[in-house]
Amino acid sequence: MQHVDAVRRFNRFYTRRIGVLREGLLGSSCTLTEARLIYELAQVPHSTATVLGRELSLDLGYLSRLLQSLKRRGLVQAKPAPHDARHNLLSLTDKGRKAFALLNSRSREEMAAMLSELREGERERLVAAMSTVESLLGNEKRKPQIVLRSHRPGDMGWVVQTHGEVYSREYGWDERFEALVADIAARFIRNFDPEREACWIAELDGERVGSVFVVKHSKTVAKLRLLIVEPKARGRGLGRRLVEECIGFARAKGYRRLALWTQSNLAAARALYRRCGFRRVRKERHSSFGYALVGEFWQLAL
């Protein structure tokens, strides 16, 4: 019952917050259901009452009364279907299209005003939470959604832990690698320059599964750091997407080169960097994380 009460409380809050309980939706003469009908007809003109009823889960008798009201007000028109005169094709009139344009613009303005009260990280959290609700309650199975967002409190701990666990499991590297990642993450937070640096956290249906950073090295050179994709999210093009975000950011900020450091045994990462246009400029042997390794320095001219 606790879960039931929580969902009901959220429903009451959100319907009040977005104003659907007001007598005229968005200052119009339309109810919420009428506005949904207008919206559907604007997206899919020449629909039938049967299709509309199925899409909106409306009783056909109730739908018929709503459509008659919209017709009387000159917002909707019906014409016999050319293939079957027993069915009518519904569409918006000129007046109906103007009503849709007004509803659509007011809806966007009200939502923009509501979101403007939140900081960027809060907006991202809200959208991610809504995506989770849609995923869990949707009647149809859909592909898991990957969202990229900027970092927020708690993310650096996840970045450090994930690097430590994944590289230990897949390559046998010891805790000294985790210490290196922790140092990089700490310096990023202490010296963060939002005009010249960025971090992207990838979420798969609200769960963190990847990260990448762009950090300032000099006025003309940026570094790509701490790229990781958890095994559960691999095979979706996420690694390339994260790298391309870094490239686009570095170009937009006026850097001339994007540099990175990797190891010769990280075959998948090296192949990804090469596909994205990076070239190895030098290499050196070193002993780190419990192994003899060959470090590689790669660069991309921007």
Q: What is the pLDDT of residues 45-86, one digit of tens each?
A: 777 778 777 877 888 888 788 888 888 888 888 887 766 666
CB within 8 Å of 288: residues ≥ 6 apart: 176, 177
CA distance 39 to 59: 18
pTM for this structure? 0.57
pLDDT on residue 275: 93
In which residue ranges of the chain is pLDDT below 70?
Answer: 1, 18-29, 82-87, 138-144
* Residues pairing with 149 in the sheet: 201
Locate the domains of the chain by residue range.
2-117, 147-301
| CATH fold group of domain 2-117 | Arc Repressor Mutant, subunit A (1.10.10)
For the chain, the average pLDDT equals 86
Nearest to 146 by CA among 206, 230, 198, 199: 206
Is 18 exposed, middle or buried, given 0-12, 13-18 or 19+ CB atoms closer than 10 A?
Answer: middle
Does CATH place domain 147-301 in 3.40.630.30? yes
